[in-house]
Amino acid sequence: MQRLFVIAALLSAACAAQGASPTTSTQPANTYQVAVTMFKFQPAKLQIPAGATVTWTNHDEEPHTVTSAGDGFKSSPALDTGDHYSAVFTRPGTYAYYCSVHPQMTGTIVVR
């Protein structure tokens, strides 16, 4: 029974990654990771070059979101445990975001 749940979680993570951005797997060198752990985005502030992809992964039991503060990029749907979400940042600028379920969780992407 336990194994079934593990497989289901992996499948849902795979689906989420596929749905979010196809560039994640083809350009791993240009992808930056943000962990969502213990109600925090880690790192909370991330600098990336223009054109890079950011992939968030939720490691918490609680669902979280990556919600753009000001529509700077497309916000995520609810991310369950193990789900990924990716966004490509093409234009230089500062992109603030938060979790809509837990708004004390905030992060920033700085695109150079």
Binding stretches for other proteins (CB under 8 A): 1, 5, 8, 38-39, 60-63, 65, 75-78, 80-81, 100-104
Q: Smallest gap, in angstroms, from Cβ of residue 97 to other proteins? A: 13
Q: Smallest gap, in angstroms, from Cβ of residue 34 to other proteins? A: 18
Of 15 and 50, the one with the shorter C-beta distance to other proteins is: 15
45 HSE (CA, 13 A, CB side): 3
Of 34 and 83, the one with the shorter C-beta distance to other proteins is: 83
Q: Smallest gap, in angstroms, from Cβ of residue 7 to other proteins? A: 12
Q: Smallest gap, in angstroms, from Cβ of residue 61 to other proteins? A: 5
Of 49 and 103, the one with the shorter C-beta distance to other proteins is: 103
Could you tell me the end-to-end alpha-carbon distance of the chain, in angstroms, rounded to an integer? 47
Q: What are the angstrom distances between the C-alpha of 56 and each of 16, 45, 89?
A: 11, 13, 13
Separation CA 22–CA 3 (nearest Å): 28
Of 53 and 65, the one with the shorter C-beta distance to other proteins is: 65
